[in-house]
């Protein structure tokens, strides 16, 4: 299958890879990446849906400003994927709608 990711490694670099689980799917991503970059590398294009209109969202700014990259990381909802570094064993799920209050 052809890799359709918009992200690729520069100059044929072969970094150490870590294994994460994205919505039940196991993927390998570079260990230095943010969660947002790792998900884009793994061909994930929808990170969350807006609470009101359920419009799909994906990272826009990649620097913590737009909040279009919200995901659930290891059970914690509303994490900015662009501001968290990926680490081995992470479980990431897309956010759907508004966060429930505890």
Q: Which of 30, 29, 36, 14 has the alpha carbon at shortest distance from 83?
A: 36
Phi, psi of 38 (to 5 degrees): -65, -40
Closest to ligand FES by CB, 20 or 71: 71
**Is residue 46 at the binding interface for ligand FES, with CB under 6 A as the rule?**
no
Scanning residues 20 to 39, which ones bind ligand FES (CB under 6 A)? 36
The only residue of 30, 57, 66, 93 in contact with ligand FES, by rule CB under 6 A: 66
Give me the least distance between CB of 44 and ligand FES, in Å please.
13
Segment interacting with ligand FES, rule: CB under 6 A, options 12-20, 21-29, 56-64, 84-92: 56-64
**H/E/C letters for each residue in 51-95?**
CCCCCEECCCCCCCCCCCCEEEECCEEEEEHHHCECCCCCEEEEE
Closest to ligand FES by CB, 12 or 66: 66
Asked whether 95 and 54 are in contact (CB, 8 A), the reply is: no
Chain residues in the site for ligand FES (CB under 6 A): 36, 59-62, 64-69, 80, 82
């Amino acid at each position: 299958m052809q890799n359709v990711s918009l992200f690729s490694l520069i100059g044929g670099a072969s970094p150490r890879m870590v294994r994460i689980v994205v919505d039940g799917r196991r993927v390998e991503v570079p260990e230095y990446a943010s969660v947002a970059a790792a998900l884009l590398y793994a061909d994930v294009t929808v990170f969350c849906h807006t609470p009101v209109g359920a419009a799909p969202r994906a990272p826009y700014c990649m620097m913590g400003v737009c909040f279009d990259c919200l995901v659930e990381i290891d059970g914690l909802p509303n994490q900015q994927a662009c501001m968290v570094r990926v680490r081995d064993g992470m479980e990431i799920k897309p956010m759907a709608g508004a966060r429930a209050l505890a």
